[in-house]
Amino acid sequence: MDTAVVPVPLGDRSYAVEIGPGVRARLPEVVAEIGVRKVAVVTSRPVEEVPDPGVPYTVVTVPDGEEHKTVATVERICLAFAEFGLTRLDGVVSVGGGTITDMVGLAAALFHRGLPVVHLPTTLLAQVDASVGGKTAVNLSCGKNLVGVYWQPQSVLCDTDYLRTLPDREWTNGYGEIARCHFIGAGDLRGLPLEEQIAASVRLKASIVTADERDDGLRHLLNYGHTLGHALEHASDFRVRHGEAVAIGTVFAGRLARALGRIDDARADEHREVVAHYGLPLELPSDVDTERLIALMRLDKKAMSGLTFVLDGPSGAELVTGVREDVVATVLDAMPRSGR
């Protein structure tokens, strides 16, 4: 496979996600198609990794990571746009991980009430998830992703050459999201070349986003493994990375679905096998307690009527509300524990 092109059909906001080695070279054509006069490229990566967009441009370098994914950094980005004299005829490009695509997407949405943005995600997690679907957000000191808007990009270029420098832990982080795709409609991706796994994950996300752009229903499916995952990230003070937490949450989702009689033992085992295949963690850290995890899961955005999970079942994954806390506690207590 050379380049995969995955359409995201959203009426007049439709765009394509291109995946493959070297696709950053497509940037000038993409920028020409959008028809902007000049662009601001915002990145946390070395400037050599920024492709020439083919129109006059400036490179704005900002720090990445959760601690910098703030309103303050978005203001800094917007100030740089103003300094470069971006107008409504111009555009924005992001080059970086998910914290960069989230912040730059938001800055693009806000500046002059909305400029076109093209994302060049450079982590596996950003390529399979963060850069696609139009959600943008930054953190407040009291919580993650609390301030954001929906702002679809004009194009996403997932250049897999960027991933060559990715540290092991960032691979794990991205594979956590790929693993959960197995249970929400992507089918078995194990053993496929990386580009195809990314393309399949993006195709799945695109189909869900197309059906439910604003997260009113079906988009919940993308939260497979995430109810426990988010709680675990918090309970471990973010020592457990998002993708790792989602992996453990996926194993848990299999066990919980089994305990509720929604799936059989073999399907529950498949959860563990898929997560293990990607070299992802399977065990809860020994120092997070069940009560704390349940308390955190009560705060989950999906938990409007009791503990709520996306769970596998006879007709595939679906949102299950009002799950009994004693059942959740029993399944959590029975999870294998690691010493870390």
Ligand X SMILES: NC(=O)c1ccc[n+]([C@@H]2O[C@H](COP(=O)([O-])OP(=O)(O)OC[C@H]3O[C@@H](n4cnc5c(N)ncnc54)[C@H](O)[C@@H]3O)[C@@H](O)[C@H]2O)c1
1 vs 149, beta carbon nearer ligand X: 149
DSSP string over 54-111: SS-EEEEE---SGGG-BHHHHHHHHHHHHHHT--TT-EEEEEESHHHHHHHHHHHHHG
Question: How near is the Cβ of 248 to ligand X at its closest, in Å?
Answer: 17
Assign residue 278 a region (left: φ > 0; alpha: ψ between -120 and 50; beta: otherwise): alpha
Question: How near is the Cβ of 244 to ligand X at its closest, in Å?
Answer: 11
Contact between 126 and ligand X by CB under 6 A: the answer reads yes
130 vs 275, beta carbon nearer ligand X: 130
Q: Please count the residues of this chain forming the interface with ligand X, following the rule CB under 6 A.
A: 25
Q: Are 153 and 206 in contact (CB under 8 A)?
A: no
Retrieve residue 140's tokens.
Answer: 């407040």
Sole binder of ligand X in the list 18, 129, 195, 300 (CB under 6 A):
129
Q: What is the spatial distance between Cα 7 and Cα 18, in angstroms, rounded to a whole number?
A: 9
170 vs 331, beta carbon nearer ligand X: 170
Question: How near is the Cβ of 136 to ligand X at its closest, in Å?
Answer: 6
The torsion angles phi and psi of 133, rounded to 5 degrees, stand at: 115, -15
Contact between 162 and ligand X by CB under 6 A: the answer reads yes
Contact between 180 and ligand X by CB under 6 A: the answer reads no
Which residues inside 56-85 make contact with ligand X, applying CB under 6 A?
Answer: 64-66, 69
152 vs 308, beta carbon nearer ligand X: 152
Q: What is the spatial distance between Cα 75 and Cα 68, in angstroms, rounded to a whole number?
A: 12
Contact between 201 and ligand X by CB under 6 A: the answer reads no
Collapse the DSSP code of 262 into the 3-class scheme (helix H, G, I; strand E, B; otherwise coil) and give the result: coil
Interface residues with ligand X (CB under 6 A) are 44, 64-66, 69, 96-100, 102, 122-123, 125-126, 129-130, 133, 135, 145, 162, 165-166, 170, 173
